[in-house]
Structure 1
Amino acid sequence: MSQASAQTAWQECSRADVKALKVFTVGEASLSRMNCDDTDPLSPPLKLEFAYFREVPGDAFAKAALHFLEKNLPQNRFDTLKPRFASFNSHYQNVDDGDTYTLVWMEQDFELRLNNTPLAKEQGADFARDYLKIWFGQAPYSKAMKAELLGEP
C-alpha cells in the first residue's frame, strides 16, 4: 500500500450489488472518495472496491475487463492501450468468499489490490479514466450498478 493511500481518509459514498450474468449476486461494490460531495464523482482520489461472496476465477475478470474496455473506448484508443490493459489484467487472481479487489486512483497512480496486497500499478490519469469505463462508461458492466454507485435515479 502506498504511503499516500495509507494516510488517505476515505469516505464511502455508495454501495451496489455485483451481479454475474445480471442475475446472481456475487459480491458488493463500493465507491469511496475523500469527499463524497465532490462535483465530479469519478475524479481522483478514488477507491472502487469489490467484496466477493463466492468464488470467481481470475481469468473471468481479465476477459470481462477487456470486453467492456473495447465496448467503451474508440477502437483506435482501445487498440493502442490493449497491451497495457492486458498486462494490468493479467494480475487478476481467483477469488473466494471474503476476498476484496480494490482499484485505487491517486492522481497519476492507478493500482489493483487483492485484500490490500498490491498486484499491479499503472501510471497516468488517462489510463485510470479509461479503465474505470468498465463500470462507468456508456456501455458499463452493469447499468444498475453504475447508477447506484453514482447516486443516479
Structure 2
Amino acid sequence: MAATIQKVSLIILGLAAFTVQSAAYAAGLQQCSSAPLQLGTKTIGRASYFAEDCQQLWNRQSIRVDFAYSHSIPDWAFKRAATHFLQRNLQNFSEKSELHRITQWYKAVKPGDLYSLSYQQDQQRITLALNRQILGSLQSAQANQYFLIWFGSKPFNVKLKQQLLN
C-alpha cells in the first residue's frame, strides 16, 4: 500500500512539474507561422515558429521553433545535418564549439514526436526539448546563432526559412 501511494505521489508530482514547465514554456510567445518540414520532396513533418513579436527580427528576441515529425529519423541524421549547416553558416564553427554541444543532445524520433528549440533573449539561453522533456540547455552570448541552421544565409531549406519568417 505504501509503495502504491508513493508511486501515485510521484506521478502527481511529475504531472504538476510537466504542467508548470508547459506553462512557462509557452509564456510570452505567439505563433507566427507554420510550414511543412521537407527533406527533398518528402514531407517529414511540420515546423512552427513562435516569437515575442512576429514583426521583429528573429535574432533580437526570444523565440521557439517546434518540429512535429510524421516519420522516424535516427539521431545521427540530426547530428550530421546540424553540424553541416552550422559549418555553412558560421565561419568559426567546429566540433569544439560550445554550439556543438546542442547538436549532441539530439535523439532519434518516431512519428508523433515533437522537438522544440527555444531561445530566451534575456538569459541568452537555448534549450532543446523532445516531447516537452528538456534534453539540454546552454547559456551563451552566441546561443541564438544555432537557429542559423534554419534562418542563416545557407539554411537547411530556403523555402522553409521563407515560410517561417515571412
State the TM-score, normalizing by the size of structure 2.
0.80
Number of the residue aligned with 1:24:
42
Amino acid at match of 2:44: V
Larger RCO of the pair (alpha carbons < 8 Å, separation 6+): 1
Counterpart of 2:60 in 1: which secondary structure?
coil
1:20-74 alpha-carbon deviations (Å, 9 max, x no partner): 2x2110010010112223x213332101110001101111111100000001111
Runs (5+) with no aligned partner, structure 2: 1-17
Whole-angstrom CA distance in 1 between matches of 2:35 and 2:26: 26
Question: Whole-Å Cα distance in 2 between the matches of residues 3 and 30 of structure 1?
Answer: 16
Say yes or no: does 1:94 pair with 2:94. no
- Aligned equivalents of 2:147 and 2:165: distance in 1? 13
Match of 2:162 in 1: 147
- Is 1:43 aligned to 2:60, yes or no? yes
Residue 51 (structure 2) aligned to one of 33, 40, 43:
33
Alignment CA distance shift 1:13-1:102 (3 Å) = same
Aligned residues: 145
Structure 1 residue 10 corresponds to structure 2 residue 29: yes
Whose radius of gyration is greater, 1 or 2? Answer: 2
Map 1:77-116 → 2, pairs under 5 A: 77-79=92-94, 82-107=96-121, 108-116=124-132
Q: Specify the alignment match of 2:15 in structure 1.
A: none
C-alpha root-mean-square deviation of aligned residues, in Å?
Answer: 2.0
Q: Is the 8 A contact 1:8 1:34 kept in 2?
A: no
Instruction: Answer with 44-53 or 3-12: which moved more.
Output: 3-12
Q: 1:42 to 1:83 in 2, by over 3 A?
A: closer
Structure-1-length-normalised TM-score: 0.86
> Any unmatched runs of 5+ in structure 1?
none
Greater share of helix: 2
